[in-house]
């Protein structure tokens, strides 16, 4: 496997950083504050979606007149205030995996739906700002997850063919994007377990980041 994997592309929220739970919490809180009775399950359905997909998802919950931008703005306000006070945490196994990949000469990139400024801020707060060869944001490409653009762009930035890239993701939208890009999707479940459709797209599934070392060999 080591001979065919020359790059690993990391989603950030829910994979490198334990922040996906915050998105779930504050999507729900923001929606409820604005009069939309969002459940936790519905908030989980918002993971890693680009604006178009997020808008469609929100409208499927609450109807065509749903004010997605207002809910998203409130979610950002609540989450930013929380993070400023409490900070962000790393997911288990991050340092072990990054050390292993560096030793093997495997390139790395962050490929996240978050804005670049937020990505740099969060990674800097945990000392990982210089730990990846490239930082790629969904705002750098035409279409975000679940479309493949972000992973194709990250592979291009690293000078690696998509089929030689392993993608580490926690969300169905991210796994679908990786599959569409022709990469090898590896799921590390964060807040729930995958459905059958997501399972059918996987190259592998592990329960924490350092277990990825066993797949690479």
Q: Write out the chain's pLDDT in tens, 217 residues.
A: 445 899 999 999 999 999 999 999 999 999 999 999 999 999 999 988 878 889 999 999 999 999 999 999 999 999 999 999 999 999 999 999 999 999 999 999 999 999 999 999 999 999 999 999 999 999 999 998 999 999 999 999 999 999 999 999 999 999 999 999 999 999 999 988 999 999 999 999 999 999 999 999 7
Bridge partners for 110 per DSSP: 10, 135
> Domain 7-18+89-216: which topology?
Rossmann fold (3.40.50)
pLDDT at 183: 98
Where do the domains of the chain lie? 7-18+89-216, 20-86
Q: Which of 144, 203, 209 lies closest to 177 in space, CA to CA?
A: 144
SS3 46: coil
* Active site (annotated) includes residue 210: no
Dihedral sign for Cα atoms in the order 54, 56, 57, 59 = positive
Is residue 10 within 8 A of residue 107, CB to CB? The reply is: no
Q: What is the pLDDT of residue 53?
A: 84
Greatest Cα pair distance in the chain: 53
- 166: closest CA among 188, 147, 189, 144? 188
Which one of 11, 13, 133, 190 is the catalytic residue? 11
């Amino acid at each position: 496997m080591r001979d065919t994997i020359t790059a690993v592309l990391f989603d950030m929220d829910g994979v490198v950083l334990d922040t996906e739970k915050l998105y779930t919490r504050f999507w729900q809180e923001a929606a409820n504050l604005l009069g939309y009775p969002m459940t936790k399950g519905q908030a989980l359905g918002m993971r890693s979606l680009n604006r178009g997909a997020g808008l469609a998802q929100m409208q499927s919950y609450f109807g065509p007149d749903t004010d997605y931008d207002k809910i998203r703005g409130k979610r950002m306000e609540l989450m930013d205030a929380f993070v400023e006070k409490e900070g962000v945490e790393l997911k288990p196994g991050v340092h072990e995996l990054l050390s292993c990949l560096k030793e093997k000469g495997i390139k790395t990139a962050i490929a996240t739906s978050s804005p670049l400024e937020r990505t740099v801020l969060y990674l800097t707060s945990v000392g990982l700002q210089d730990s990846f060869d490239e930082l790629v944001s969904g705002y750098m490409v035409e279409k975000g997850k679940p479309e493949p653009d972000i992973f194709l762009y990250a592979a291009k930035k690293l000078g690696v063919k998509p089929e030689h890239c392993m993608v580490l993701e926690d969300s169905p939208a991210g796994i679908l994007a990786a599959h569409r890009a022709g990469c090898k999707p590896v799921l590390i479940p964060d807040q729930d377990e995958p459905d059958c459709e997501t399972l059918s797209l996987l190259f592998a599934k592990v329960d924490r980041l350092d277990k990825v070392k066993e797949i690479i060999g």
